[in-house]
Amino acid sequence: MEKAMFAGGCFWCMVSPFEELPGILGIESGYAGGKNDHPTYEEVKTGTTGHYEVVQISYDPTLFPYERLLELYWPQIDPTDADGQFQDRGTQYRTAIFYYNEEQRIAALDSREQVAASGRFAGPIVTEILPAPVFYRAEEYHQDYHKKNPKHYKEDRAQSGRDLFIEKHW
């Protein structure tokens, strides 16, 4: 088993693209990259802790290679937006790929270069590639939010502009 960590704006929207695929063993919503140990959602949502909202994925690389995770990640985000994602604004909603080893770092850099060369976007790709920091699991009510609160999740996602962006660019 290996781990992968991605920041793509609101972590609620970053779970379902990866779930229920062969080789994906688990997905947790959480926080990473900030200055506070064991941050809470109330702290992170202020944008003052430096944490990103992230998903940490446990996977079997023999069944689901890391490169496939990257292929699923990029179409979930606007990689040209340094100030958040869609309706979610602030540093906690920045995009980033966090790597756990050199192979992941190289694959992430290569994938970012491919996205930049694709011609899909007018602006530069600002998604950072960073070493994986400590992961802090978010509160239980954030785990599998889309399943626990499907009506609110669908409304929030529809209002965010994420799906329209994905349809237009991907």
Q: Which residues are catalytic?
A: 10
Within a 10 A sphere around the Cβ of 150, how many other Cβ atoms? Answer: 10
Among 153, 154, 41, CA closest to 92: 41
Rounded Cα–Cα distance for residues 58 and 76 (Å): 19
Q: Is 13 helix (H, G, I), strand (E, B) or coil?
A: helix
CA dihedral 49, 127, 164, 93 (to 10 degrees): 0
Phi-psi region at 18: left, alpha or beta (left = phi > 0; alpha = psi -120 to 50): alpha
